[in-house]
Amino acid sequence: MTKDQMRIVDQLVKDIWPEIYTPIIGTEQVNYMLETYQSLENIKKEIAQGDQYFILMADDQPVGYTAYRASSDEIYLSKLYLSERTRGQGYGKQVFAWYDQLAAGKKIRLNVNKYNQRAIAVYEHQGFQCVEACQNDIGQGYIMDDYVYLKDLS
């Protein structure tokens, strides 16, 4: 991923994240997570560690982004975000079809905030099953309160 592409992802993060997560976790935690986990520096670090980032395009415009990390038996889908104006138009379905091909013979795993009902509905519609609940202390008194979802394509 080029520096220009990383800057596009960074702008998508800044546009999409607050809209999705502020109603769920509040402005302070959103800002903390943007600075700590979704910053341009962190994106560079994740790419250096092997994460694969992709910009999702529609009509030659960036409308979202996705990222994953592959291991021998699974794909960890760490990020899949679409701009509000493009949700519900089939782009997510296309991305999941791509992930299904990528993960053929493996499993796809992801985490989702327990209160992100829209995303949970999408994942379940795409054949993912909830396999556990987890809470992770992310510092500064904040907790990530998630479900782990799995889709077995093996």
pLDDT tens digits along 42-69: 999 999 999 999 999 999 999 999 999 9
Number of domains in the chain: 1
Mean pLDDT of the chain: 96
65 burial class (0-12, 13-18, 19+ CB within 10 angstroms)? Answer: buried
79 forms beta bridges with 67
pLDDT score at 33: 95
Q: What is the CA radius of gyration of the chain?
A: 15
pLDDT tier, 87 (very low <50, low <70, confident <90, very high otherwise):
very high
Query: What's this model's pTM, rounded to 2 decimal places?
Result: 0.93
- Which CATH number goes with the domain that contains 117? 3.40.630.30
Note the residue count of the chain. Answer: 154
Quote the tokens at residue 2.
């080029």
| Domain range for 101 | 3-152
Give all strands (DSSP E) within 12-70, no chain letters. 52-58, 61-70
Quote the tokens at residue 77.
């889908």
CA 50 from centre of chain: 16
pLDDT score at 29: 96
Q: Report percent pLDDT > 90 for the chain.
A: 99
